[in-house]
Structure 1
Amino acid sequence: MNKKTLLNITLSLILTNIFFMSFSQRAPGKFGKISKADFEPEYCPIDSNAHAYFIFDYGLSEFKYLQTKVSSSDMAKSRKGFQLYFTRHFRIKIVDNQGFSWANIEIPLYHDAGGDKERVTNIKAYTYNLENDKIVKTKLEKKGVLTEKTSKYWDTEKFAMLSVREGSIIEIKYTIVSDYYFNLRQWYFQKNIPVLQSEYHVSIPEYFNFNQTQRGYFPIQMESDGRQGEITITYHQKAEGTSVKEQTYTNTYNYREDILHFYAKEIPAFPLEKYLRTEDNYLSKVEFELQYTKFPNSPIKYYTTSWEDINKVLLDSHSFGEELSKASHLKKEVEILKNCGQKDYMLLNSAFNHIKSKLAWNGYKSKYVTESLSKAYKTGGGNCADINLNLVILLRELGFSAYPVLLSTQEHGIIHPSHPSISRFNYVIAMVQLYDKTYLLDATDPYSGINLLPIRCLNDKGRIINKAGGDWVNLTDYRPYSSIEVCKVTIDKGLVLYGTNDRRLKDYAAYECKKKIKKCKNIHEYEESIDKQDDNLTIEGMKISGLDTMKKSVNISYQFTQSNYIDKTNDIAFFSPAFRSFISENPFKLDKREYPVEFNYPYSVRQIYLFTIPENYEVSEIPKSAVVKLPDNSAKFIYNINRMGNTINLSLMFSIKKTLFLPEEYMAIKNFYQKVVDKQKELIVLKSIE
């Protein structure tokens, strides 16, 4: 073996990337250099309502190749090659006690199944307070740092800053060392509190190819440059018998390094508002996805190529596709279900309910099984993959065209079809195609149903995994929030309301109700929770049916007494007939919303009020009937009222037909809601005839 060949073979095995010149960019402030002037701003300079704000937030990601001397006797695992270093340094000013939560710090760390993991080094954390015109600093001790297992592949290091009070400044700096090239940290410029200055600097040697994506509505400035560098590797070959002599070789590699600088200043807090699945989708940030690596004397290694390749990787995985071929542990259940006399939708429902009752979800989200589907079934529980892949197998054995569907849950963010990434998936459900219809199922939730997924799963699209290369499927708009309510009210001479309320809840209205009641110890506690909403309301005789997880609808009925609801001035009394209005206030309050309005499901709500007026009063005035709607009928409200003798009948119908309204539609949906709220506040006027 000649000298050149030996050196090339060695470097092919140990080089994971090459980089010697560590990129450096100074943070906006030197650690620990705090002056009295830093305490002077009483409020955030760009938002006087902020409870805390970042003075600066600085990040640096760089690849380092520190092991430049290698011996043939080194264990392969010890040859680190390139490592990814991420350093973060930030300061936060705590304005008042509502900002104290920003002194609780969390650092996520990845680890693989083999035990290798990222590690945090050089944690420095201080709290600074101005006391008697002197700066007093409190150091975080090592014993204050705790490690918590977050999921199968993630741990979180947590610590709480000490001596935090109104006016404190906290400063934290740490470095994460990682062997996982794909985990080049994303960077959030925008947060839920203002940021005065944010910088992120990234250096990438030419051997790594990343997709870089900027998201969000607040503009980020980016500059890029490059430079040449070199690294010298010294390799010592020990003698091996008579064929290999002891030798030492040195080789120098030249490379190009791409350097990216990202900047933003005076970044406002993200304006949180209702009907948003997760702000993570719209916060201003930069993301990196490793596409491939190409090291000297080595072939290209692809990490992210296409959705079809991801489909193949999953089907070939021993923790996914291989497990789908093992069905022997379900043989008994398959025979029982086949002999139950059901078919098609009824058989599908029975198989679904069997898995829901047999396997309990442990709360973990994953696209991979924990150990094996057989073990999960025998032990009666597991993560979402353990449960729903068992469901896929059972349905296939019963003759259904069933497939796994990978998705990203709401808090995990949406999947971008233009950027193939297996890491964007964190959950799996089941899908069945039957007579040209698509049915989605998630057996982790006892209250879910066919095409009635848990709320966490309602997040744009999922990816069907099959031998044809996979495809996309919509996860939303299958079932609405459907409610019908009838309220019969008799008003006595003293203007006290006595009545009955009957509600029939279907689809997501029933789902949400079951979830709410489940949190109560019993029906009486749920009844009391409604009572507490109004001191003048008394509820009696509540009856609830349909709470069984297998039932699709819920029926609730009760009697009630409501005092002090009707206002009276001399001989005039007045009240709003929509006293249990579905929309009591406008959830949309921003002047401008830069991100979409995202409803979890369509709405179909109907309320009917039947009022009997007392004999000592006559009806002087009632509101006018009206229809409020958007031009495309995607949102509609019908207010229909009429009077017959001493009775008044009011019918309200509220519907939202689509779940996504774009930012340019925000003012339309905001104004629609305001008109609905205002209409329901209109009054019936009664006049005393005594």
Structure 2
Amino acid sequence: MKINIWICIFQIALFVSQTCLGAKDPVKFGKVTIEELEMKEYLPDPDAAAVVLCSYGYYDNKSHYFTHVFRVKILKKEGYNFANRKFRVSQKSSIKGNTYNLVDGKVVVDKLSRESIYKERITEDFCVVNVAMPNVREGSVIDLHIHYFGFPWNWYFQEDVPVVWSELRIDKPHYIRFRETFFGNEPLYIRENNRWVAKDVPAFEEEPFMTSRENYITKFEFDILSISIPGYFREYSVSWESVSKILMENRQFGSVLNSGSYLNKVAKGINSKYQTQEAKIVAALDFVHETIEFNGRDRYTAKCHTLSGARDEGIGNSADINLTLIRLLEKLDFEVYPVVLSTKENGILSLVYASFQRLNYVLAYVKIGDGFVLVDGTDKYLPYYMLPKKCLNWKGRLVDKDASRWIDINTAYKDDQLSYYELSLQKDLSLTGKLSYIKMDYAAYDIRKKLENYNSIDEYVEYLTKGHPDIEIIDAKITGIEDVYGPVKEEYEVRITNHAQSIGNTVYLTMTLLEKIEDNPFKAEERRYPIDLNYPVLHRGVVKISLPEYFIVEEIPEQVHLLLPNNDATFTFSISNINNTIMLNYKLAVNKELFLETEYGDLKAFYNEVVNKESEPIIITVK
């Protein structure tokens, strides 16, 4: 018989005397003041679209319930996103909420309805609750009360808007051993044994090309290490080895990997048709893509206790898909293991501190020949040897009943693009000719995903011309879309206007077109966090522009070769003029995907020079 250990703790805790928390509660649900309703701006940050007036959480060891009261003031329309919030709670929970507005001097209250609360079960232990608050407008005050059975997973002292007061109290349990891990740069105002307060916390500001806000925002993460009561002891996040053991015992993970008898027939068919390991993996992926549609939810546990659930419904989360793939590969006699990880948005895993709550994805780790490859089955546009960008998040943990170890999660594949332009400058200063591209690896993936949103090539061409009104696309041809293991080739016959500019008898012509970097993506003077580009970049190209004989080239930009320390990035730009045909050869290579904040100054300066060089014109006179 399955024992609910939390109920056992609750029953024992009733007989144990607990120390009362003496500090007064900073906020009471439903007790909104006129001052809060009349508030027009937050003086320390007048541009703030909203401000968290108070976020207060407390864990009661007697009842083993956690309560969170969250109050936010909406100041501008940009703050309306606070009307829709997600909270992680246990299966046993209750939520209530009110929206307060001041209308003609009177307080109007709109209650959160049951229809506006949506619970999504993640595992047997917890779910995510989505709430949509009613009648939110500029000036509204939103009040939420979240109450659930169990210990909190995390606590955010900082939000994307300023926080006036954030307080957490933990009536520390005698039978639960836990670890709190502090993240972020904002100091705490009060830090006591069982009470933590942050005051007047500035809004968290994301930077371009950040890994994840979850790595840097000021917060606590809690992990239960063990539970010990008379007659019962269980370890949880003591070590990554214990996490692996628990996962293999979990009904939505380990047990699922022992199901899937329907895959026997599938494996038999694949084995009879294909001989090589590579062909069998491709066939296994094709089967998974055709059988289970990805619902967009990143999970490390399946939604059911068997693999047949997702098969029958024809749709599933990432774990439904990848655990099915792992089981099918096992039946095809591959050596394969699950690797659990945290996606980029969810934050990186700690090598030191094991954590269930950081996990939200699982991949297949497959032996092919003499090596292993990480494989994901959620995206039909990725070849088996390439991972989604969101999974390229440093390290994952191999899960096995006998051994558990770290697996590097990176990629040797690039945003790889080759361009070739052959154009002629006309008397009216328009450019006519052909633009050709060969896109490989992640560049090919990006164009395939983009084309998925259009019903035809013509519709995609229409989109391109809207974004570039000076380019008339006369004809277009795109090949290689269906074969994800090859490049995508694009060819366009074009007429381009307003690219060459004239002043009197002088024409100014820049050689870069669609590939030109218009603005430096790194504009800030300083950088607080590392720069994550996902993967290396390699963009190469040749641009040929033929000039009529009555055009005379007076000046061309000097060639340049830029190089960052350790060859981390290079840029080559060289223009020549032979018989009135101007030719540009260029190459931009960013050879690593992660730059530390200390390298930001060099990277910013590098891109400044690239932007400036690509903007330098050729100077031409007319006879």
Cα deviation for residue 277 of structure 1 reads: 3.8
Gapped runs of 5+ residues in structure 2? Answer: 1-6
1:510 to 440, 444, 456: 444
Q: Cα–Cα, structure 1 residues 591 and 269, in superposed 2: closer, same or farther, change >3 Å?
A: farther
**Counterpart-to-counterpart distance in 2, 1:519 and 1:19:** 62
Change (3 A) 1:100 1:337: closer
How far 1:91 sits from its partner (Å)? 3.6
- Tell me by how many angstroms 1:448 deviates: 1.5
1:35 is displaced (CA, Å) by: 4.9
- Residue identity opposite 1:92 in structure 2: K
Q: 2:89 aligns with which of 72, 94, 109?
A: 109
Query: Which shows bigger deviation, 528-537 or 144-153?
Result: 144-153
Q: Distance in 1 between matches of 2:618 and 2:427?
A: 16
Larger Rg: 1
Residue 11 of structure 2 is matched in structure 1 by 14
Quick check: 1:345 aligned with 2:326? no
What is the distance in 2 between the residues matched to 1:63 and 1:37?
A: 28
Match of 2:368 in 1: 434
The reply on whether 1:62 has 2:59 as its aligned counterpart is: yes
Structure 1 residues 215 and 551: CA distance shift in structure 2, 3 A: same
**Residue number among 551, 560, 572 corresponding to 2:506 in the alignment:** 572
Please state if 1:356 is matched with 2:354.
no
Contact 2:99 2:133 in 1 (8 A): no
Quote the residue 2:131 is aligned against. Answer: 158
TM-score, length of structure 2 as denominator length: 0.91
Specify the code of the residue in structure 2 equivalent to 1:148.
Y
Q: Are 1:581 and 1:680, in contact at CA under 8 Å, matched by a contact in 2?
A: no
Confirm whether residue 34 of structure 1 aligns to residue 2 of structure 2: no
Q: How many Å apart are 1:286 and its aligned residue?
A: 1.4
**Residue in structure 1 matching 2:557, options 623, 636, 646:** 623
1:412-468 Cα distance to aligned partner (Å, 9 max, x none)? 222222111223222212111233322111112111112211223222211111233
Q: Secondary structure at the match of 1:580?
A: coil
Report the counterpart of residue 120 of structure 1 in structure 2. Answer: 95
1:337, CA displacement in angstroms?
Answer: 2.4
1:667 aligns with 601
Is 1:463 aligned to residue 463 of structure 2?
A: no
Alignment of 1:304-319 (within 5 A): 304-319=237-252
Equivalences for residues 497-576 of structure 1 within 5 A: 497-576=431-510
1:49 partnered with 2:47: yes
1:146 and 2:112 are equivalent in the alignment: no
Q: Which amino acid aligns with 1:540?
A: I
**1: CA distance between counterparts of 2:254 and 2:213?**
33
Q: Is the Cα contact below 8 Å between 1:124 and 1:174 reproduced in 2?
A: no
Local SS of the residue matching 2:320: helix
- Alignment partner of 1:97 is 2:77: yes
Instruction: Quote the Cα distance in structure 1 between the aligned partners of 2:599 and 2:246.
Output: 40
Deviation at 1:671, TM superposition (A): 1.9
Shift of 1:403: 1.2
How far, CA to CA, are the matches of 1:563 and 1:541 in structure 2?
16
In 2, Cα distance between equivalents of 1:385 and 1:37: 44
The secondary structure found in structure 1 opposite 2:95 is strand
Q: How far, CA to CA, are the matches of 1:11 and 1:361 in structure 2? A: 38
Report whether the alignment pairs 1:262 with 2:230.
no
* Aligned counterpart for 2:517 among listed residues 566, 583, 589: 583
Q: Equivalent residue for 2:178?
A: 210
Q: 1:552 to 1:151 in 2, by over 3 A?
A: farther
Superposed displacement of residue 208, structure 1: 2.5
CA pair 675-555 structure 1, distance change in 2 beyond 3 A? same
Cα distance change, pair 219–641 in 1 and its aligned pair in 2 (3 A): farther
Q: In the TM superposition, what are the counterparts of 1:597-616 in structure 2 within 5 Å?
A: 597-616=531-550
Q: How many aligned residue pairs are there?
A: 611
| In 1: Cα distance, 2:165 partner to 2:128 partner | 29
Consecutive unaligned residues in structure 1, runs of 5 or more: 1-9, 66-81, 112-116, 226-258
Q: Describe the superposition over 1:603-657 as per-residue Cα deviations: whole angstroms up to 9, x where unpaired.
A: 1111221111222211111111111221111122111221112111112211122
Report the Cα distance in structure 2 between the residues aligned to 1:398 and 1:315, rounded to whole angstroms. 21
| Counterpart Cα distance in 2 of 1:588 and 1:203 | 46
Question: Conserved in 2, the CA contact under 8 Å of 1:109 and 1:119?
Answer: no
Instruction: Please give the secondary structure, in 1, of the residue aligned with 2:262.
Output: helix
Q: 1:273 to 1:549 in 2, by over 3 A?
A: farther
What is the distance in 2 between the residues matched to 1:653 and 1:676? 11
In 1: Cα distance, 2:281 partner to 2:298 partner: 24
Q: 2 CA distance for matches of 1:37 and 1:150?
A: 33
2:141 to 165, 170, 184: 170
Partner of 1:254 in structure 2? none
Which amino acid in the other structure matches residue 58 of structure 2?
S
User: Over residues 164-191 of structure 1, what are the superposed CA-to-partner deviations in whole Å (9 max), with x where a residue is unaligned?
Assistant: 22xx15141424132x23xx14222222
TM-fit CA distance, 1:28:
4.8
Question: Where does residue 641 of structure 1 map in the other structure?
Answer: 575
CA change 1:525–1:19 in 2 (3 A) is farther
Moved more, 25-34 or 462-471: 25-34
In structure 1, distance between residues paired with 2:27 and 2:8: 40
Alpha-carbon offset, residue 204 of structure 1: 1.4
Distance of aligned partners of 1:105 and 1:408 in 2 relative to their CA distance in 1, 3 Å threshold = closer
- Sort the Cα spacing of 1:39 and 1:589 in 2 relative to 1 into closer, same or farther, 3 A: farther
Letter paired with 2:263 = L
Q: 1:345 to 1:177 in 2, by over 3 A?
A: closer
- The answer as to whether partners of 1:451 and 1:478 remain within 8 angstroms in 2 is no
Aligned residue identity for 1:338 = N
Which residue number corresponds to residue 237 of structure 1? Answer: none
Farther off after superposition, 343-352 or 494-503: 343-352
Q: Does 1:336 align with 2:269?
A: yes
Distance verdict in 2 for CA 1:110–1:291, change over 3 Å? same
CA distance in 2, matches of 1:24, 1:93: 32
Aligned to 1:87: 68
Q: Secondary structure at the match of 1:527?
A: helix
Query: Are the structure 2 counterparts of residues 619 and 478 from structure 1 closer, same or farther at C-alpha, using a change threshold of 3 Å?
Result: same
**3-state SS, counterpart of residue 15 of structure 1:** helix
Contact 1:217 1:284 in 2 (8 A): yes
Relative to structure 1, the CA distance from residue 438 to residue 546 in structure 2 (aligned partners, 3 Å threshold; closer, same or farther) is same
Shift of 1:11: 8.1
Alpha-carbon distance change, 379 to 127 in structure 1, aligned in 2, over 3 angstroms: closer
Tell me if the contact between 2:27 and 2:69 (Cα under 8 Å) persists in the aligned partners: no
Of the structure 1 ranges 489-498 and 146-155, higher mean CA displacement relative to structure 2 is found in 146-155
CA contact (8 A) 1:89 1:172 kept: yes
Q: Distance in 2 between matches of 1:145 and 1:556?
A: 48
Asked if the contact 2:85–2:131 (Cα under 8 Å) also holds between the matched residues in 1, the reply is yes
Query: Secondary structure of the equivalent of 2:185?
Result: coil
1:221-370 paired onto structure 2 within 5 Å: 221-225=189-193, 259-265=194-200, 267-295=201-229, 297-326=230-259, 328-369=261-302, 370=304
TM-score (norm 1): 0.82
Instruction: Rate the CA distance shift 1:494–1:380 in 2: closer, same or farther, 3 A.
Output: same
